[in-house]
Structure 1
Amino acid sequence: MLARTVAQKMSEQLGQTFVIENKPGAASTIGIAEAAKTPADGYTLLLAAAPYVITQYVYPKLSYDVRKDFVPLGLLQTTPTLLVVNPALGINTLNDFLKLAKSKPGQISYATPGGGSLPHLIGELFKQQAGIDLLHVPYKGGGPALADLLAGHVNSSFLSPIEVNAHLKSGKLIAIGASSLKRTPALAALPTLAEAGVADFEALAWFGFVTRQGTPPDVLAKLSEHLQRALKSPEIRDKVAQSGDVPAGTVQEFADLLGREHVRWESTVKTANIKPE
């Protein structure tokens, strides 16, 4: 929905119609592979998210390399995931969670939408940096994972604010930390995992536009200019700020984030020996 809103604003500014095509499947690799075959003319933008980087290391035989086949255009949003627990676990803080996990290695479970997903990798990175052992319980999709967390069949999960806000308000789930390095305005009362005890921990969900490597510089500059203008419009800023942080939308900002993401997830995948399912 966010991409549609931004695309509509850019369409108004450029006087060009944006046609959105959904190409789901295989952890986003089908859509990325198709975009990698398009002409480098700026007429095809790919909405990239964390799997754009993660799959580069989980899947060893992709037909493309995102570092060589695409260039960043700009971020649309960054947002933390939240470490949430079922109240039956009997804890309310990250410190309590860490103490419990250390006293019961491999027994405290965390649910994910599947192996190699962003929540899975966040969980593995969290385990590595916190020095704890958690039990990974993969599901076939986020819906079943959340349902079993609510039912108490699993203890915890890393989920987006949009997925859990209603359950937090009703008391059915408890949030004990956010995965961003700094607090997000929409979640100002919730401490980050970094400040609550896992030093320098950061793992974000994000969305951004990329396009084909080799796109003419003047075309990139024009698209970048209009993306930044779109992100400055009040209606889009308000929409983005409801669940995350509003980026500047510059090419350099996104390039810097992608550089950090590649380092983070390549290391995490290798250390945890994560393989495609």
Structure 2
Amino acid sequence: MPQLTRRVLLTAAAALAAPATIQAQSAWPNGTIRIVPPFPPGGSTDALARLLQPHLMRILGVNVVVENRPGASGSLGTGAVARSAPDGNSWVLVFDTHAVNPALIPNMGFDTEKDMTPLLLFGTAPMVLTAHRTRPFKTFAEMAAAAKAKPDTLTYGSIGNGSLAHLTMALVGRAAGLQLVHVPYRGGGPLAIAAVAGEVDMPVATRPAIGVHIDSGALVPLAQTGATRSPSMPDIPTLAEAGVPGIDARAFWGFLGPAGIPAPIKQRMEAALLEALAVPEVRARVIALGIDLDPKGEAEFGAFLSRQIATWGAVVRENNIRPD
């Protein structure tokens, strides 16, 4: 009898608590929503966050603020969100460094896969291996011949040690038998300035970072790093077409929150993001950034992240790469 009474009391307490929990979740959003681009203003994560901001405010009916929290290759701002309350009011918009950081920065203070909710993958974009227009080589084959003729003389620039471009070129060098010199810059802005000035032989970055200089003719595209040609760069051959098969290196942009966010909140935020992305001018501007827009929900994004973390973690370890 005491056990029966206790069971009845526990059931009754749960029944009383459930409506309150449901009401709290259904009342969301009930305050300011924060979106953190974990990089300085001016980059692609910042641009995408600010592009979505007014539409999310309209759709959700609350204030949405963009709060840049740069540092440690995006891990500082991401960690701040990972440690936030799972109430749907704190989110982070990440770039491909999110998948590299676990191997590159072992003491981040949070677990990328366990402490976060991978809500939505916006899309991906291959990087472009380019040559400054003053260099004598205009194709990947000509560059490879020049590199083999004089090992450890040709330079390539990236946004930093451990960046996706750095890791990709490590794979390219190994696969093609090239000895190239890596020149890391501190972000896309400094790399773009150095690229157009001809400071390095071969800038490597996404189209959002250096596309304007490709279009102007200052940079000559040699190859793109995706397994297939990007719709935004249909005339640029892939590495496989250039004679280096087996590499599929694509930057990505995704939206995450802390772990444990209630399902109703996740569903509503995902729906709001998809509605914002469906606005014609938003879609056009995202594509203009060089992002191959192809939204994927939590299950697919989570699986994608796990694959990326495993792939690039192995490259970091095998090449003994360290952060700046």
TM-score by length of 2: 0.79
- What amino acid does structure 2 have at the position aligned with 1:133? Q
Could you say what the CA RMSD is over the residues aligned between the two structures, in angstroms?
2.0
CA-to-partner distance for each residue in 1:102-144, whole Å, 9 max, x for gaps? 3333222112232223332232232234332211122344444
Deviation at 1:255, TM superposition (A): 2.0
Figure out how many residues of one structure are paired with residues of the other and give that number.
277
Q: Which amino acid in 2 is paired with 1:65?
A: D
- Which sections of structure 2, spanning at least 5 residues, go unmatched? 1-46
Whether 2:254 is the aligned partner of 1:208: answer yes
Matches within 5 A, 1:108-187: 108-187=154-233
Instruction: Structure 1 unaligned segments of length 5 or more: list them.
Output: none
Kept in 1, the 8 Å contact 2:189–2:209? The answer is no
Matching residue of 2:97: 51
Separation (CA, whole Å) in 2 of partners of 1:192 and 1:128: 17
Tell me which residue corresponds to 1:30: 76
* Residue in 1 that maps onto 2:4: none
Deviations 1:55-83, CA, capped at 9 Å, x for gaps: 11111212111111102110223222110
Alignment-derived partner of residue 61 in structure 1 = 107
Alignment of 1:85 with 2:131, yes or no, is yes
Write the distance in 1 (CA, Å) between the matches of 2:118 and 2:209: 28
Between the aligned residues of both structures, percent identity stands at 32
- Does the CA contact (< 8 Å) of 1:74 and 1:249 recur in 2? yes
* Amino acid corresponding to residue 264 of structure 1 in structure 2: T
Q: Could you say if the C-alpha distance between residues 213 and 129 of structure 1 is closer, same or farther in structure 2, counting changes exceeding 3 Å?
A: farther
Would you say the 8 A contact 2:113–2:306 is kept in 1? Answer: no
Q: Kindly tell me: are residues 92 and 254 of structure 1, through their superposed partners in 2, closer, same or farther at Cα, counting changes over 3 Å?
A: same
* Cα distance in structure 2, aligned partners of 1:147 and 1:169: 15
**Larger Rg, first or second structure (1 or 2):** 2
Q: Deviations over 1:191-236 (max 9, x none)?
A: 1223322213221222110111111122212222222222222122
Distance in 2, Cα, partners of 1:249 & 1:10: 18
Comparing 201-210 with 144-153, which one deviates more in the overlay?
A: 144-153
> Pick from 291, 310, 318: which aligns with 1:244?
291
| Separation of aligned partners in 2, 1:82 and 1:271 | 23
Of residues 47, 53, 65, the one that matches 1:19 is: 65
**Would the aligned equivalents of 2:188 and 2:209 in 1 still touch at CA under 8 Å?**
no
Output the CA distance in 2 between the equivalents of 1:193 and 1:52: 24
Q: Does 1:98 align with 2:138?
A: no
Cα distance, 1:149–1:248 mapped onto 2, change above 3 Å: closer
Pick which of 79-88 and 222-231 moved more.
222-231
Give, in whole Å, the separation in 2 of the partners of 1:216 and 1:149: 45
